Amino acid sequence: MAYSPLSSSPASPPPGSVTHAFTTTKPRADGGGKPQSRDSFREIVETVVFVVALVLMLKLFVVEAFVIPTGSMAETLYGYQKIVNCPECGFVYPVNSSDEVSPSDGRPRQVVGACCPNCRYRVRWDRNNPSPPSPSGDRVLVHKAQYAFESPERGDVVVFKYPVDPQVNGEQQNYIKRLCGFGGETIAINSGDLYRTTASIYDGTTPAGAPRFPRPANPLDAWYGPEVELHSKTSPPFEPNGPDYTYHNAEPALALFAASRQSGFASPVESGFELIRKTDAMLETMKRIVYDNDHQSAYLASKSVPPRWNFEPGSGWAPVGPPGMPKSFTHSGESLNWVRYQHLVPQSDDVWGKLANGYEPGLLPPTVITNFMGYNSGVDRDRGAFRESGEHYWTGDLILETEATLSSASDEVVLELSKGANRFQAIFAGGNVRLVRTGPQGKELTTRPSGITAAGKYRLRFANVDCRLRVWVNGAAIDFGTEADYPPDRLPEQFDPEDRMHEGWTHANDVLAPASLGAKGNVTFDHLKLWRDTYYTYTESSRAFDEIARYADTYYVQPGHYLCLGDNSAQSSDSRRWGTVPRRLMLGKAAFVFFPIGRIGFIE
């Protein structure tokens, strides 16, 4: 993602700065009388010079404002986008429209449609529908002095000069991505997650005595990646498709990843790969909507399509809301009963059309949750097709939230998330929350006080992301230390027959019950929301398509460099392709979104 600097007016100081009037006085020669003011014109000149100098100092050394033009960091940061209010379910979401404002090939394309990530309704606003507002991008402040005094941290959203063309026609080519790997590390992408190792695996020579993985003769070339397209704009000019100093998918790295997985990733990072886990703050930023139950399609309900959240008749549950569109669920009885989610999504215009004749189970079967994003679904007027590139991968890292109303302290509530052959539960009972894993390696992981000690309403969130279970009660995270971490699963001896891409999901868990809510006693669930984690995609999809879980993309990061990836991985040009970022080209840390008003906040 490139970004553009905002123009700064030298005639006024930045907000919050201190303005100096520069008014001085001098006494009369006899020591008496009133002070005399300097010439007013000189005062104005001095004030303007001071403000200009202050703005330049801030811009060069401290902080600078930029506008985000492209969508490679969506939905953490929005590039030029249009905000769409889905006419079917009322869910509000952004759609990428950078091709209207800053097309990569110089040919503007008007975005005239999008697909809702919540209900999957496909709207075209060139067909008698209201058009969204004109495109706009996030405005961010970049802390340019951040890395002058301290080193970058993994997960920072960083701004840097594009290594391929740092400057074109006198203008800096600045990019913004998330820092994911450091010099000396090999980073692996597998099933949407990131792994790292610091093992030395690139030694040895060829039969002819040459290094198997040569270091660059010129250290300034160490950033080269597997698919870099070097242009004649660079000086001196380089040949395209030159050497790959990330050693993309080198045989020793792939072999080490396979061995690490077979051992359950139990080896130390110096000799094997380990999973990189996000912080809670990063998880909050990088979660993507799967379904908001407060926004349901009345049309689907009118055609008798089952609601995505449902329960077995006679199980103690009762729906609350319009027919076929339950917004809440109430439970009574002393046995544990479940409300379960199924991913029922009309995945094409053809399905929406056929539903006009009524619902049939074979027309809309439940499916696994994928890495689909409405942001990437825009359709331009010329092409006329919805974009869904690289968004067909199963995403098993989920986040579930609800507001639970308990009638007494003795009521029990369970939030459950499935992943592969396992289900993971957060059980709230007796003032505690227990974390339990069921399945082949089932066991109780840990217990902590939950703070739920009386009747009342509680906002509960449960996440299973990066092989770490996390719980929040009323917005406060419960600290489990490392007791809620578990190792990534080994490959199954036999994949589910329906899992043709060999991703590792099972029909019984990831199709029929990817997320569930359970209760004992008199309990009500409101405001059900389900998210997924950001999914890092592969670059060699042809090799990965039928062996997703078995396959990995690996990249070595040369010393003094960083591997930087876009949060919108399916639509990002980043280190997976053109290479890594040299320290010398690092400009600073993106710290704060200051516009538009609804997006104001710190960047994690």
The Cβ of residue 499 has, within 10 Å, a number of other Cβ atoms equal to 21
What burial letters (b/e) apply to 291-330, b meaning 16+ CB within 10 Å? bbbbbbbebbbebebebbbbbeeeebbebeeeebebbbbb
Amino acid identity at 71: G
Tell me the mean pLDDT in the region 422-436: 97
Could you tell me what percent of the chain has a pLDDT over 70? 84
Q: 48 pLDDT band (50/70/90 cuts)?
A: low
Phi, psi of 283 (to 5 degrees): -60, -40
* Residue where a domain stops, chosen among 47, 67, 87: 67
Q: Are residues 192 and 298 in the same domain?
A: no
Question: What is the structure's pLDDT at 521?
Answer: 96
Query: Quick check: 52 pLDDT over 90?
Result: no
Q: 246 pLDDT band (50/70/90 cuts)?
A: very high
Quick one: which H or E segment has residue 457? strand 456-465
The distance between the two most distant Cα atoms of the chain, rounded to a whole number of Å, is 103
Q: Are residues 414 and 511 in the same domain?
A: yes
Query: Quick check: 123 pLDDT over 50?
Result: yes
Question: What is the structure's pLDDT at 105?
Answer: 66
Query: Quick check: 256 pLDDT over 70?
Result: yes
Query: Quick check: 361 pLDDT over 80?
Result: yes
Q: Which of 178-192, 389-403, 527-541, 584-598 has the highest mean pLDDT?
A: 178-192
Give me 156's structure tokens.
């920072």
Tell me the mean pLDDT in the region 573-579: 93
Distance of alpha carbon 492 from alpha carbon 338, whole angstroms? 28
Report CA Rg, the chain: 28
Question: What is the structure's pLDDT at 75?
Answer: 93
Question: What is the structure's pLDDT at 567?
Answer: 96
Decide if 283 contacts 399 (C-beta within 8 A): yes
Question: What is the structure's pLDDT at 145?
Answer: 73
* SS (HEC) of 343-369: ECCCCCHHHHHHHHHCCCHHHCCCECC
Q: Are residues 403 and 456 in the same domain?
A: yes
How many domains is the chain partitioned into structurally? 3
Query: Quick check: 79 pLDDT over 60?
Result: yes
Q: Are residues 509 and 572 in the same domain?
A: no
Residues 6+ apart with CB under 8 A from 461: 399, 400, 401, 470, 471, 472
Give the CA distances from residue 599 to residues 177, 418, 419, 593, in Å, rounded to whole numbers and listed in that order: 18, 32, 32, 7
Distance of alpha carbon 355 from alpha carbon 374, whole angstroms? 22
* In-domain check, residue 143: no
Query: Quick check: 238 pLDDT over 80?
Result: no
* In-domain check, residue 244: yes
* In-domain check, residue 83: no
Query: Quick check: 49 pLDDT over 70?
Result: no
Question: What is the structure's pLDDT at 402?
Answer: 98
Cis peptide before 239 (omega within 30 of 0): no
pLDDT tens-digit readout, 11-27 = 333 333 222 233 333 33
* In-domain check, residue 130: no
Q: Are residues 239 and 352 in the same domain?
A: no
- Alpha carbons within 13 A on the beta-carbon side of 301: 18
* In-domain check, residue 150: no
Give the CA distances from residue 68 to residues 135, 140, 286, 376, 454, in Å, rounded to whole numbers and listed in that order: 11, 8, 17, 16, 47
Q: 410 pLDDT band (50/70/90 cuts)?
A: very high
Q: 208 pLDDT band (50/70/90 cuts)?
A: confident
Q: 9 pLDDT band (50/70/90 cuts)?
A: very low
Distance of alpha carbon 38 from alpha carbon 26, whole angstroms? 9
Residues paired with 581 in a beta bridge: 562
Question: What is the structure's pLDDT at 327?
Answer: 97
Question: What is the structure's pLDDT at 125?
Answer: 87
Question: What is the structure's pLDDT at 61?
Answer: 53
Question: What is the structure's pLDDT at 542?
Answer: 45
Q: Are residues 217 and 259 in the same domain?
A: yes
Distance of alpha carbon 14 from alpha carbon 5, whole angstroms? 15
Query: Quick check: 29 pLDDT over 60?
Result: no
Amino acid identity at 229: E
Q: Are residues 418 and 351 in the same domain?
A: yes
**pLDDT greater at residue 358 or residue 130:** 358
Q: Which of 99-103, 351-355, 407-411, 492-496 has the highest mean pLDDT?
A: 407-411
* In-domain check, residue 136: no
Tell me the mean pLDDT in the region 103-130: 84
Q: Are residues 509 and 385 in the same domain?
A: yes
Angle CA 562–288–498, to nearest 5? 100
Q: Are residues 359 and 506 in the same domain?
A: yes
pLDDT tens-digit readout, 516-556 = 999 999 999 999 999 999 999 987 654 545 566 678 899 99
Question: What is the structure's pLDDT at 598?
Answer: 85
Question: What is the structure's pLDDT at 31?
Answer: 43
* In-domain check, residue 16: yes
* Residue where a domain stops, chosen among 19, 35, 67: 67
Q: Are residues 277 and 297 in the same domain?
A: no
Residues paired with 234 in a beta bridge: none
Question: What is the structure's pLDDT at 241?
Answer: 56
Distance of alpha carbon 187 from alpha carbon 246, whole angstroms? 10
Distance of alpha carbon 167 from alpha carbon 528, whole angstroms? 48
Residues 6+ apart with CB under 8 A from 269: 196, 197, 198, 199
User: β-pairing, 157-161 with 174-182?
Assistant: antiparallel
Question: What is the structure's pLDDT at 545?
Answer: 52
Could you tell me what percent of the chain has a pLDDT over 90? 59
CATH number at residue 494: 2.60.120.560
E strands, 430-493, where? 432-438, 443-449, 456-465, 468-473, 476-477
**pLDDT greater at residue 521 or residue 239:** 521
Q: Are residues 318 and 445 in the same domain?
A: yes
Q: Are residues 194 and 212 in the same domain?
A: yes
* SS (HEC) of 231-269: CCCCCCCCCCCCCCCCCCCCHHHHHHHHHHHHCCCCCCC
Q: Which of 28-42, 73-87, 120-134 has the highest mean pLDDT?
A: 73-87
Q: 235 pLDDT band (50/70/90 cuts)?
A: very low
Question: What is the structure's pLDDT at 110?
Answer: 85
Domain containing 588 equals 173-283+541-596
Decide if 73 contacts 155 (C-beta within 8 A): no
